[in-house]
Structure 1
């Protein structure tokens, strides 16, 4: 009688991932059109990232400034969450940016840089800003 242990056949099965419907509503993460964007800075005035929006494609997102490192990433979660919350309330993408301006507080760990609302020709432009050192 052999005591050889055979591998469980389930360990060799391919895993199937089926996307489940539902979940929280989200703005589209992509657009080919022009975008409006805000510059977000920390208390010391160091830019941590950019919030952007395009109403035509119902698109919006947060681009963390890579040079800001982990601290910028962590502080940026607040701004990404604001976009998620706005979408859940049915707010248009550029209206979400307007809310961010209105609710910005210079005493918080990060804030909208006053007067920073700008239009860019495309999302790639904003991503380029985020990638700069």
Structure 2
């Protein structure tokens, strides 16, 4: 094929990148106190915690390291549910309450009924889960 046929205008054009927004999410960090609920598997083993702080519009999933791959993988479901709640304009603590209210212990993982409590900080919650 002759060289002239392989040359295209695209080679000489400047490339311009545009920032594209990702999914709407709560902030992933806070230094303030958090409310949290415990998530367990069908056998009752703790997989991690869902936490929230309205003041910083923050919420997320903190995995229990001892829960292994199951804990890490099940967390994706709850992160997705938090994203859905944020997209609907629900406050972080209202999202926790909703997840608690609609959780079913018959599922492979669930929010433990009556587990809503607080921690002085996200760091303290993570430390607690690391020690379990």
How many residues are matched?
Answer: 116
Mapped partners of 1:38, 1:28: distance in 2:
18
Mapped partners of 2:81, 2:129: distance in 1:
19
Superposed, 1:118-129 pairs within 5 Å as 118-129=117-128
1:34 aligned partner: 33
Q: CA deviation at 1:21?
A: 4.2
TM-score, length-scaled by structure 1? 0.82
Mapped partners of 1:33, 1:83: distance in 2:
19
1:58 aligned partner: 57
Structure 1 alignment gaps of length 5 or more: 1-17
Structure 2 alignment gaps of length 5 or more: 1-16
Cα distance per residue 1:88-117 (max 9 Å; x no partner): 111100000001011100110011111110
CA separation of 1:43 and 1:57: change in aligned 2, threshold 3 A: same
Mapped partners of 1:66, 1:78: distance in 2:
17
Mapped partners of 1:21, 1:34: distance in 2:
32
Ranges of 4+ aligned residues in structure 1 off by more than 4 Å:
none
Q: CA deviation at 1:19?
A: 8.0
TM-score, length-scaled by structure 2? 0.83
Mapped partners of 1:61, 1:28: distance in 2:
8
Mapped partners of 1:32, 1:20: distance in 2:
28
1:78 aligned partner: 77
